[in-house]
Structure 1
Amino acid sequence: MAKKNKRAVHEAVPAPAVQATFPLWGRRFFPPVFFLLLSLIYFYEFPLSDQIIYGTDVGTDYHEGANLSVWEKIQTVSQPMWNPKMGGFPQSEEIRPQYFPTYPIYFFTAFQRYIGWRYILTMFFAGLGMYTYLRQVNIGHWAALWAGVAFMSAPTFLAFPMAGQYAKMGVIAIFPWMCLFLERGMERGRLIHLVGLGGMIGLGVYSHPPNMFYALLGLGVYFLFKVYQIYREKADLKLLVQRSGFFAFSVILGLALGAEGAFPLFFYTRTESKRATGEEAGGKTAEQQLAYARSWSLHPEEVASLVVPEFGGYDAPLEGRSNYWGRNPFKINSEYFGVLAVLLALMVLPEFRRRPQVAMWAGIFALALSYMLGQHMPIHWVAYHLLPGAKVQRAIAMGSFVFAFAGCVLAGLGLHRVLEADEEERAILRRRLLIAGGALTGFALLLALFPKAITGGWIAALYSDITPKKQQILAAGYNWIAKGGLYVALVAGAGTVLLYLRLQQKIAATALIAGLCLLTLFDTWRVDKVYLHYIDPDRYADIREENPRAVQFLKGDSEHFRIFPLPSFKILGQPGYHLHGVPIITGFHDLTIGRYDRILQELEPVVQMLSAKYLQGAEVPYGDRELLAAIQPLLNLLNGKYLAVPKPLELALADYPLRFESERFRLYENTQVLPWFYLAPEAEVVKDGEQALERLRSGRVDPQRVVLLEEEPPLVLDGAGDPSRDRIEQLTYDLPAGLIRLRTHNDGPRVLVVSENYHTNWSVFVDGEQAQMLRANYVWKGVIVPAGEHEIEFRYFSSTLAWSRAATFLSLLCVLGIVGRALRRRSVATAA
């Protein structure tokens, strides 16, 4: 017996040698290393230099954080309460990008460099997530590896850097992991997996809440399918209830984890932001809101572009090229996810009746695409009226990642069938391949040969209301469309040949996957590269140091005020023209308060005419004096003390004397501007907001003398006392902390007006006693102050933020407890 044991030990010795010869690509570490290397190669210019990745939404502050200490950057994690931009908005209700796990990278580099590293990590997790999910649903290593490459390189995902929309990319990268934990939780019923799903939902919320709306819709359909599958296969009511409870728990947990980044934003957007419905908030009517919710949707041209992305076209702004002839104003992205993914998905689609996974993902693909088509399909109208949050969504095409993910999963399923099929199945797959590959290649070749005829037929059948401008763009892009069709034909044809050779058992799986990966990267890169642009920040001055004389002059003015940049606020975003730290009247922000945005709409026609005149050289029927006179009362109301005019433009208006001139700007003073704080001796009640705005716009009322209120004041304002003897002393003006303290000395009862946007999170106290805060002059906040000396304090407090922050903290404790319990159990099991 002893001899046999010795022989057994002796014979077991060569085992490590066998392990050592195991192929590199079969090792467990190979997929993450592969996806990480691919991500680094894709952005190779970034880690090997000091460059940054250009993105419009990231802004032109290329040196942000470069001169801050680590401690100063850590302090940016704290969210300010109020932001003074554009009349002020509740920053406490904004999303929390600083809560995302990658944010600590910023502590050790400049902000724009941090964004670059986040792009790399996001791409890596997208590919690895797709691979891991497909392995979970029993897809082979090679098929899952290729599908990961297809998803992480898809323009649906990688066309966002140009727009600087890294936050949307974060949700897209997390979505495969959500599906992974949902699949594991529904199959195994272990609490740790559903906690994982909740954690992924929470991370998605802190990346981009609007995009998470579409991720949750996709997860909801996935869950309903799993419920149906359990019911059909097991008919176990108890199991069904348990899994449903687990899913509900994970979603609630995820929303609780992300509560601080989700609920303040959600409720504010629905009530007082520019996206809100209702005339009282200065927002949109129900009809306008529906049109707004359908804005930037997909159209039939984008569906055809899923096969040939050049068909409907896309813009290349940095190249000065516009090839988009579709129905949206412009397009700086693409929903394309690769023709090979379309080919492989079509190959497996006929199996939807006998393969539940195919049926589920085909259904998700169809539902998601129908939703993104907006007004072209009824599903969006139904969802708009039934789903919470659907009414405040816009740019619904951002949810295209759901059908792109579904398409890549179907492609992975199809490739797995190609690799694992037996002889009989291979014969069936060869027929499907020839049909699908031939159709895709044929369509692409026809488009390459006859772009004018194909697009002309499309227009005649589906797009009869195309504008002359779009027709001109299309006509100029025929050669570009033909070139794109040729590219797709080559990729689809080559992919068809490789797959056919594999189905004939004439090439190995490794050769097939290598070929498909190269074709996929070639196919997607021609689109991706358009939206990847590097900038050397050292070529640009720090915006804090631009125009120092003009900024010093403006900041040297002891009063609070705003400036009105002419001809457009966009001038101040150009290199060399920043006026950092100076508040302006106009601009853009998603969270602008509805009523302030309504006033900006009154200014917009004048801004457009000035831009046409000075930026485009167009003839306009009015002179500068007439244009500015039309908006003078609103400029006064909005504290527009200076007109900032870039050189060489020059104004010669008596009402706006030149006060300062620097290398790049002339500053003209508005001598009729209203002060930031004022005590009005009289008030007029105008309960209709639009009527109040019309009175103010027309100039028929002096808002400093007669304040327009929308409810009866608690005191009678009869103009008693001498207004010239009234004084206001500023004690504290800390908007990030949400505190304004003033001391007033007034000769009679007055309305104190503060030129910051009215918002319900503010409350006011007079001599320590809470008073009624009033909406004054349509947008500002005010309070009635009796005669005499008084101390006025405006305090900001968000109850939504308070309870959502508590929910986040408690849910985090819950997660830590569950994870700790799971780790202890694993430790005990390992020890046993």
Structure 2
Amino acid sequence: MASSAQTPTPRTAQADTFWTRLSPTTRHAGCLGILLVVALAFYAPAVFEGKTIQGTDTVTFRANAQVTVEHHQKTGEWARWAPNVFGGMPYVNEKISVLQLDDVVNLVRGAAWPVSLLFVLMAGVYLLVFYLTRNHFSGLVSGLAFGFTTYIPIIIGVGHGTKFVALAYAPYVVLAFAYTLRNSSLLGGLLFAGALALQLRANHPQIVFYTGMLLLLWWIVEAIGAWREDRVPELATSTGWLALGTVLSLAMAAEPYLARYQYKQYSVRGGAAAVNGGGAGGGGMGWTAAMRWSHGPGELFTFIVADAFGGGGQTYWGPKTFTEGPHYLGGVIMALAGLAVWRVRTWLAWGLGLGVLGTALFALGKYAAWLNWPMFQYVPFFDAFRGPEMWLSITALALVLLAGIGLDYALRRKEQQGRRTQSTDPRQRPLLIAFGAVFGIVALMWLAPNTVLDFEKPNEQQRIRQALLRENPNVSPKNPRVQQAVRQQMQKQKQQRRGAFTTDAQRTMLFLVLAAGVLVLYRRKTLPAWGAGLAVLAIVGVDLWGVDTRYMGDERYSAQDVEQSIPTYSFDQFIKERQKKAGGLGRFRVLSLAEGDPTSKARPSYHYENVGGYHGAKLQRYQDYLDHILQVTGSGPPNENALDLLNTRYVAARQQLPGTEVAYRSQESGVLVLENTDAVPRGFLVGTTEVVEDPTQMWSRLRSASFEPRQTALLSAPLDQPVTPIDSGSTAEATMEHYEPEEIRWTVNTDAPRFFVASEVYYPAGWNAYLDGEPIPIHRTDYLLRGVHVPAGEHTLEMRFEPKADRYGTWIAWTSTILVYGAVLMLAGIRVRRQRGAGPEDEEAA
């Protein structure tokens, strides 16, 4: 058995055609040109018509980033603290200062989104498959298939930009991995470091982790092969270079990951979350939260038949709560991938095959708990990610790589010797069996769909019944007419779903027949290799294009930019005018209840400092505030003390709340702007402190109507210095002089030692306090806020966001980047010089 760590077997002599007469550079340019043209054609409205793709996550990010954008426009610097999201949180719109190769792509990213990154993605797969097979058409088909697997336009459409960027760099990580396995060189380790650093810098560690798991599964198979073929020393050397590359890549991505890793310990995905039900693998979310969007086992069939489970949106009837669409690759890609695993007997093919199996099982989540539960408990970082379905993006990558290897097998004539007749072609039979197997499975499902698929969403009949009873409250649930209406509606739904499945099954079978026919004609020497390769490319392209347009239609594009698409209502204008009159940023916060759950809407964060917001990794302490102090998700009104503590001056709601006054009423929407006159200022002095160590007791005390936040501060540990109570004759004044996202300054005047409370979210990994220029400790106050001890007198108090992890990360990243890039250039230069210096005899020997 051949090893993937060995040099590919040289290709046999090819027939003299126009393709073989082209230079290698021209062939590559032609293939990459095809990929670019297809990408430009598919996303033409975004490139040629000036339209934008506005997914929900894109709009959410833009709303969250507003304060940091304004700060950049004002100062030229990007703030690392965003005070407009969940009362304030770090790294909402972080910018990386260390320059690497991805910055070259980013030069055209804004003007050519998403084509620029899509071309990077497809070109990476093309180069990877060409490196593995030396077949241009295999690389071309694989590159197109991964770029247009349905998941890619879906994540582009909904605005999962960082996920898309991480997937775009994944092929280069795999390419560097394969190169290092084959060459066992320092250059390979350095290239792996550079590629992995680019993927890390996409800021989607989940995709990086999944890519790493694919490589680990591949490496396990390589290790078995090395042991059986006495290649252990070579593999050990390659593994050492890969390990070095991994360490260097982490150093190159120390900005932003050192600071992000530190933040994770305080977020709902970090160590604090582990106390509240996380796994044992280093701190993460609980099993139930992590396993949301587990992929149903039957849904794997959507790789072959797109609408097997109804597509996306309202048509979807699978076990997930909802989904945007299937992970579709098409029957042709699946048949070619199966052919590779079956007939291309190399450790490479089997390693990728294990990668497909492993990542698909991980995607099943709770449906494969026998595997995922131990991984969740014991593998570091496995419990930090939610949405197991995302594993299928890496499954798709492995499948298209196998499909490229399978197509290379189908297009090679290596085994044909002498004057063999067409009927003795040794590769035609396996080819027909592979395509016939996929065709047969789809045909059986098409002929008898009800034997496997029930076309009914879990608990769907119960939901239909409840909807009918809500419309007819006086009708008994046991009424025969209700039962009949449920059956009729369910039958109608099933008929529609069965029809969609039948149509797509027929579609898949058609493309399988066409592709198999093309390859058979090639095996019979009726078509040249380039003709067969382009024909398969066209079949795969038409197949995927047709499905992709269901999820990237005209409705995904907008003539407005993202910022213009964020609504501004009359009550927003009223609050913004009040904010401007009060002095701008840092004067008060707003809780918006007008649009439902305030923890699932980012729109208000665009307009003002928001008590709510939307973010996938908020601070765990803030989540506790929402759940246990503010109690905003309950049936009753939010807690008044909680509103006061967080400087919540205004509440946008549809009905008046206790302790508030109506300041504005929107005539068109009926939304009320309620003023909370009891809200504490952004900074104030108290004369009494209490120590409450137990969090539950502190939550209860803060919610209590007897608690006076302007008089008493609750601490988790006692102060070293005493404070003096405030009475009518006391001097205890605090005036805000300056407020920026990363710097706040007050003038404090007190006639006795007092305790200063800043209505700012406590985050010990970045915020520092200075009294008259001297550093002083910040105490966690009232569970969520910051506090400092202030001696008698007039003082200047400053709080500055100065995360050491960010500073160290930038230094480490710059140093390692210069080291790695410089070493790669030096080694590449030495290699080029040696090649130029080699004589004809040396070249022939090589």
User: TM (normalized to structure 2)?
Assistant: 0.82
Q: Distance in 1 between matches of 2:99 and 2:310?
A: 36
The alpha-carbon distance between structure 1 residues 825 and 218, as it changes in their structure 2 partners (threshold 3 A), is same
- Please point out which of 482, 489, 500 is paired with 2:502: 482
SS in 2 for 1:592: coil
Q: Distance in 1 between matches of 2:459 and 2:566?
A: 44
Long gaps (5+) in structure 2: 1-16, 465-488, 838-846
Q: How many residues align?
A: 773
SS in 2 for 1:58: helix
Q: CA RMSD in A?
A: 3.9
Match of 1:636 in 2: 644
SS in 2 for 1:27: helix
**Which stretch of structure 1 is more off in the superposition, 749-758 or 444-453?**
444-453
Residue 597 (structure 1) shift: 1.7
SS in 2 for 1:477: helix
- Please point out which of 603, 606, 609 is paired with 1:583: 609
Q: Does 1:517 align with 2:537?
A: yes
Q: What letter is aligned with 1:670?
A: N
SS in 1 for 2:639: helix
The answer to whether the 8 A contact 2:285-2:383 is kept is no
- 1:404-483 equivalences under 5 Å are 404-421=396-413, 422=415, 429-448=427-446, 451-452=449-450, 454-456=452-454, 468-469=462-463, 477-483=497-503
Match of 1:292 in 2: 289
Q: Does 1:555 align with 2:561?
A: no
**Residues 542-599 of structure 1 deviation map (CA, whole Å, 9 limit, x = unaligned):** 7598755552233322472111112336899999x86744111111113321111222
**Residues 442-497 of structure 1 deviation map (CA, whole Å, 9 limit, x = unaligned):** 443454455555422x98xxx97778449967676333333322322322333333
Report percent identity of matched pairs: 22
The alpha-carbon distance between structure 1 residues 568 and 476, as it changes in their structure 2 partners (threshold 3 A), is farther
Residue 126 (structure 1) shift: 2.0
Match of 2:809 in 1: 804
The answer to whether the 8 A contact 1:278-1:285 is kept is no
- 1:717-796 equivalences under 5 Å are 717=723, 719=725, 721-722=727-728, 725-735=731-741, 738-761=742-765, 762-796=767-801
SS in 2 for 1:754: strand
Q: Distance in 2 between matches of 1:190 and 1:742?
A: 58
SS in 1 for 2:59: coil
**Which stretch of structure 1 is more off in the superposition, 380-389 or 538-547?**
538-547
**Which stretch of structure 1 is more off in the superposition, 44-53 or 488-497?**
488-497
Q: What letter is aligned with 1:567?
A: A
- Please point out which of 347, 361, 368 is paired with 2:359: 368
**Which stretch of structure 1 is more off in the superposition, 136-145 or 420-429?**
420-429
**Residues 73-104 of structure 1 deviation map (CA, whole Å, 9 limit, x = unaligned):** 89867453554421211228957499675557
The answer to whether the 8 A contact 1:572-1:578 is kept is no
Q: What letter is aligned with 1:334?
A: P
Q: Does 1:656 align with 2:657?
A: no
- Please point out which of 502, 511, 529 is paired with 1:491: 511
The alpha-carbon distance between structure 1 residues 475 and 602, as it changes in their structure 2 partners (threshold 3 A), is farther
Q: Distance in 2 between matches of 1:733 and 1:347?
A: 64
SS in 2 for 1:719: coil
Match of 1:359 in 2: 350
Q: Distance in 1 between matches of 2:799 and 2:380?
A: 33
**Residues 205-227 of structure 1 deviation map (CA, whole Å, 9 limit, x = unaligned):** 11122211111222233344444
**Residues 113-172 of structure 1 deviation map (CA, whole Å, 9 limit, x = unaligned):** x44624212221222222211221234222222222212211133321122112212222
- 1:160-179 equivalences under 5 Å are 160-179=155-174
Q: Distance in 1 between matches of 2:367 and 2:19?
A: 57
Q: Distance in 2 between matches of 1:572 and 1:277?
A: 22
The alpha-carbon distance between structure 1 residues 75 and 497, as it changes in their structure 2 partners (threshold 3 A), is farther
**Which stretch of structure 1 is more off in the superposition, 115-124 or 40-49?**
115-124
The alpha-carbon distance between structure 1 residues 448 and 748, as it changes in their structure 2 partners (threshold 3 A), is farther
The answer to whether the 8 A contact 1:634-1:697 is kept is yes
Residue 607 (structure 1) shift: 5.2
Q: What letter is aligned with 1:530?
A: R
**Residues 17-64 of structure 1 deviation map (CA, whole Å, 9 limit, x = unaligned):** 999964999633212212111211121222211111222211179899
The alpha-carbon distance between structure 1 residues 595 and 539, as it changes in their structure 2 partners (threshold 3 A), is closer
Match of 2:317 in 1: 325
The answer to whether the 8 A contact 1:280-1:689 is kept is no
The answer to whether the 8 A contact 2:65-2:93 is kept is no
SS in 2 for 1:660: strand
The answer to whether the 8 A contact 2:600-2:614 is kept is no
Residue 531 (structure 1) shift: 3.1
Q: What letter is aligned with 2:650?
A: Y
- 1:68-107 equivalences under 5 Å are 78=78, 80-81=80-81, 83-91=83-91, 96=96, 101=101
Q: Distance in 1 between matches of 2:95 and 2:61?
A: 20
SS in 2 for 1:211: helix
- Please point out which of 567, 577, 581 is paired with 2:594: 567
Match of 2:302 in 1: 305
Match of 2:387 in 1: 395
**Which stretch of structure 1 is more off in the superposition, 201-210 or 90-99?**
90-99
Q: Distance in 1 between matches of 2:256 and 2:220?
A: 27
Q: Distance in 2 between matches of 1:74 and 1:105?
A: 26
Q: Distance in 2 between matches of 1:133 and 1:96?
A: 28
Match of 1:9 in 2: none
The answer to whether the 8 A contact 1:550-1:661 is kept is no
Q: What letter is aligned with 1:369?
A: A
- Please point out which of 130, 154, 161 is paired with 1:159: 154
The answer to whether the 8 A contact 2:279-2:376 is kept is no
The answer to whether the 8 A contact 1:684-1:708 is kept is yes
Q: Does 1:249 align with 2:244?
A: yes
The answer to whether the 8 A contact 1:154-1:524 is kept is yes
Q: What letter is aligned with 1:32?
A: L
Q: Distance in 2 between matches of 1:341 and 1:74?
A: 51
Residue 249 (structure 1) shift: 1.2
Q: Does 1:600 align with 2:626?
A: yes
The alpha-carbon distance between structure 1 residues 99 and 641, as it changes in their structure 2 partners (threshold 3 A), is farther
- Please point out which of 127, 130, 135 is paired with 1:135: 130
Q: What letter is aligned with 2:123?
A: L
The answer to whether the 8 A contact 1:231-1:240 is kept is no
Match of 2:711 in 1: 705
Q: Does 1:259 align with 2:267?
A: no
SS in 2 for 1:47: helix
- Please point out which of 699, 705, 716 is paired with 1:693: 699
The alpha-carbon distance between structure 1 residues 766 and 549, as it changes in their structure 2 partners (threshold 3 A), is closer
Q: What letter is aligned with 1:309?
A: A
Q: Distance in 2 between matches of 1:603 and 1:484?
A: 51
Residue 273 (structure 1) shift: 0.6
Residue 332 (structure 1) shift: 1.6
Q: What letter is aligned with 1:372?
A: A
Long gaps (5+) in structure 1: 1-16, 109-113, 317-321, 610-626
